[in-house]
Homo-oligomer: A and B are copies of this chain.
Amino acid sequence: MTDWKAEAERLDKADPLARYRGDFLLDDDLAYLDGNSLGALPRATPARIEGVVQEEWGKGLISSWNTANWIDLPQRVGAKIAPLVGAHENEIVVADSVSVNLFKLISAALSMRDGRKVVLSEPGNFPTDLYMIDGLEGQGLAQRRLAERDGIEAALDNDVALLLLTHVHYKSGEMFDMARLTKAAHDAGALVLWDLSHSVGAVPVDLNGAGADFAVGCGYKYLNGGPGAPGFAFVAQRHHDGLQQPLSGWMGHAKPFEFSDDYRPAPGVDQLLCGTPPILSMSALEVGVDLMTGIGIDALVKKSRQLSEFTRAAMAQALPELPCISPDEPERRGSQLSFRHDHAYELCQALIARKVIGDFRAPDILRLGFAPAYVRFADCWRAVSELRDILESGEWQKAEYAERAPVT
């Protein structure tokens, strides 16, 4: 039997990323394994936000659009995200939410595949991805088709305009082979839109290497942009000229301050800007992104895999009664592991009471996420050992752990 506690200590000591935990505001006794839902607060963020609020807004007032370069934030932060996902700097812009960006890019894809209306996805995809297809279906512009993941390639027929998949599944952690599915879609004459919400900053993503057409991603998970941070959108350079999408707001106009009556899209991804961007939230996102690019994606990926692999092995040995539904091979999963249990909700609450924060996904999944910038191997071992204790002692049966909060 492996001494997992000693092994965790050994790995933490050897961890080249260990020093980055101090860049986040996290109590030493907190095992935060939910950075895949809401990333931790970078220590540099409060000062930056105070500066944006007090100096830029408070003192600079309206002039800060120019003097503090608020106007360039969407492109600047987009360019910084680019190296994390294998994109060129001019292919990404930060704007709105993931949901709104999905709407723009599904629309853009449909307009490039005249005569085809089917948007193909998988059942159980993150809901907002499916709902945004529904929205366009309600407009009569799209037709939703779902195929189980092993049937996706077979479902790619001549009616499919777009394949829309979440690269790393939010619930199972399973990761698609981006290059293979992109090629399959292209072979069928369809375009591909990848949702990188559970990927960016934690797993290897090479959008251009895979030949991807479109992508969206989330700012508040591994990018540590804060609650409800704006999302980002990627459009491959070869599609910039023909790009067309219906959320044609004034900030996406070629010359917004000409106040013309007629919409003329800005070049490239700039047309994906719609309304005035939320500067406070976007500034916080920039701090989080700077931290991730400072560490570098290769080091992040390497540690992410070590963390999840350590946890998977320790859980399998210590708690074989809790089946892991995530793939066994690190290169086939994201930076998370999901375990099935009939009382996953109660287990999760009991863990939280012990300062081990994971989360629950209905109906029966306990999800542990491994944000490589600040999670320690000792945190992973604590999750395993506390969980074993909670199960063996029956503590999870306490009535208080069954009470449901509005957001679970």
A interface residues (Cβ-Cβ under 8 A, vs B): 25, 27, 32, 34, 37-38, 40-41, 45-46, 49-50, 53-54, 56-59, 61-66, 70-71, 96-100, 103, 107, 111, 123-128, 130-132, 134-136, 138-139, 141, 146, 171, 220, 226-231, 244-251, 253, 256-263, 274-282, 284, 352, 357, 359, 361-362, 405-408
Contacts and interface: CB of A to CB of B under 8 A. Distances in A.
Contacts of A54: 25, 41, 46
A263 B249 CA distance: 26
Given A128-B250, A131-B263, A256-B127, A275 B96 contact: yes
Contacts of A32: 61
Contacts of A57: 38, 41, 226-227
Stoichiometry, copies per complex: 2
Contacts of A274: 97, 99-100
B362 A259 contact: yes
6 contacts: A49-B50, A96-B275, A99-B275, A100-B100, A134-B263, A228-B279
Contacts of A227: 56-57, 64-65, 70, 276, 278-280
A198 to B, nearest CB: 14
A244 B138 contact: yes
A258 B126 CA distance: 11
A286 to B, nearest CB: 13
A226 to B, nearest CB: 6
B141 A406 contact: no
A114 B183 CA distance: 41
Contacts of A59: 25, 27
A103 B247 contact: yes
Contact of A58 (B34, B41, B229, B262): B41
| Residue among A34, A41, A61 having the largest count of chain B Cβ atoms under 10 Å | A61
A359 B62 contact: yes
A46 B50 contact: yes
A98 to B, nearest CB: 6
Given A50-B50, A54-B41, A220-B276, A100 B248 contact: no
A258 B362 contact: yes
Given A49-B49, A228-B275, A228-B278, 10 more contacts: A25-B54, A63-B357, A96-B96, A96-B275, A130-B262, A135-B248, A138-B246, A171-B259, A257-B408, A258-B362
A79 to B, nearest CB: 17
Contacts of A56: 227
Contacts of A100: 96, 100, 247, 249, 274-275
Nearest to A139: B246
A229 to B, nearest CB: 7
A111 B98 CA distance: 25
Contact of A357 (B62, B139, B256, B361): B62
CB-based closest 10 A-B pairs: A97-B275, A99-B249, A99-B275, A135-B246, A227-B279, A128-B250, A41-B58, A278-B281, A65-B407, A135-B248
A103 B246 contact: yes
A66 B405 contact: yes
A357 to B, nearest CB: 7
B61 A357 contact: yes
A93 B139 CA distance: 23
A25 B362 CA distance: 46
Contacts of A71: 406-407
A139 B135 CA distance: 13
A34 B38 CA distance: 36
Nearest to A282: B228
A408 B53 CA distance: 21
A127 B244 contact: no
A276 B357 CA distance: 21
Nearest to A365: B259
B53 A40 contact: no
A34 B49 contact: no
